[in-house]
Amino acid sequence: QVQLVESGGGFVHSGDYLKLSCVASGGTFSMGAMGWFRQAPGKDREFVAAIRWIEANKSYADSVKGRFAISRDRAKNTVYLDLNSLKPEDTAVYYCAHSQKRPILSNMSSRQAYESWGQGTQVTVSS
């Protein structure tokens, strides 16, 4: 069982910056891809960004393109999400997700592509 631990959330103002981190651990496992999803109160969990581990192919939701950036440190089994120019509508719990398989590019935004999930970290953006 892969354990994922997110960190870096917080309370910020509109236009501010945050950096989220997620570390994967738990014995022997493969690194196919990691992603970030978010869930606002009363809404479904939605895709934010994902990265394939070896090739570093990246995928972003339209709502965050140009503002958020996903990256990974292979040696640390850690994925990062830089959140720039934050808006109140970015307020949500952000969840890290992990896939041991290498998803096809078109499937990277699907929740079903990931087997393991973190507990989430709260991001609150005030106007």
CA 85 to chain CA centroid, nearest Å: 17
Residues 6-47 have pLDDT tens digits of: 999 999 999 999 999 999 999 888 999 999 999 999 999 999
CA 98 to chain CA centroid, nearest Å: 9
pLDDT at 39: 98
pLDDT at 1: 83
| Pair of tokens at residue 71 | 């990256």
Across residues 60-80, what is the average pLDDT?
Answer: 97
**Angstrom distance (rounded) from CA 65 to CA 70:** 11
Quick check: 98 pLDDT over 90?
Answer: yes
